[in-house]
Structure formats: structure tokens, C-alpha cells
Amino acid sequence: MITITKRLLLVLLLVAAAVPAQADFNAIARAIDGHRGVKRVWIPFLGVARFMVRAVEPKGVYDFQLATFEGTEDLDAQQLKEILRSKIGPGFTPLVQVWSNRRDEWCFIYAKPKGERIELVILARDDETVLVRVDVDADQVAREIHERPRQMTRMARR
């Protein structure tokens, strides 16, 4: 006879199997957060915003995750690049890898095609360190770049 606990476990296993493979965002965030003096900053209502994006899919955005960190001033860009590369999961290709030692700014963008979508993982630091995973419509991204190239350039410089 199947007990409630076994039923619950079976349901959880089925749900876990049905969830599509994504970049291991949480593994990357935990690895960054695990450094001495680094703290992940809680963002109020981010879960609600993520739910709304998944439900509405504005302009071809299907999902996102976001984490910000404090205390990353002493972290080396090369070390974080290696964390990202080792934890991101299979199928991702480096798209952008830039840093300025003089200004202590850097940005790493990895991409993974998913049919007509593209999954991007971005780890960047300017004034603060931010990790973003976004699942977007590849055609929509191409259209935005084509229609507003100067705006995209301005956004990339920020």
C-alpha cells in the first residue's frame, strides 16, 4: 500500500523530471556567496516578478533569475570567470568576456541556444556584482539589436 509520504515523493520526482534543464543558477550563486565576506542580497518580491514574467512573457522573455551580492570587492575576475565556467552546465558558450583592472569592472556572458530561444547567463560587476539568467526569444533579441543598435550599445556600456 502506498502511503502519503511515498505519493508525495513520487510527485516530487515526477515534477523534478519534468522541469527543463537550465543553467545551474543556484550552484553559481552559492559558489559566489560561499566566499568569505560575500553576502547574497535578498530582493523583495522578486519571486512575484518572476512568476508574472513566466505567466505574461513580455516581449519574448520566458523566464529570469537574478541575484546581487555585497562584499565582492576583493574577488578576482578570473576566479569568478572560472566559477561561472565550471558551474554553468553543459551547452553554454562564452559570448562576452571583458574586464577592466583599472576600473575594477567586468562582465561575462554565456549563451545556450534552445530551439527558437536563447538562454543567457550574465555575471557582471560595476558598482555591485550581479548574476542574471534569462530565457528569451532569439528572434526578439535580434530584432531589438537591429532596430535599436545605438540603444543596445548604450545599454552594453552601462
**Is the CATH number 3.30.2030 carried by domain 21-157?**
yes
Beta carbons within 8 Å of 111's beta carbon, 6+ residues apart? 92, 93, 95, 118, 119, 120, 121
Q: Strands, DSSP E only, in 55-128? A: 61-70, 93-100, 105-114, 117-125
The grid coordinates of residue 154 equal: 548604450
Cβ pair 99, 105 in contact under 8 A: yes
Count of other CB atoms within 10 angstroms of residue 86 = 11
Domain range summary for the chain, segments of one domain joined by +: 21-157
pLDDT, tens only, 29-88: 999 998 888 899 988 888 888 888 888 878 788 999 999 999 888 888 888 889 999 999
The model carries a pTM of 0.75
pLDDT, tens only, 105-115: 889 999 999 88
pLDDT, tens only, 50-63: 888 888 878 788 99
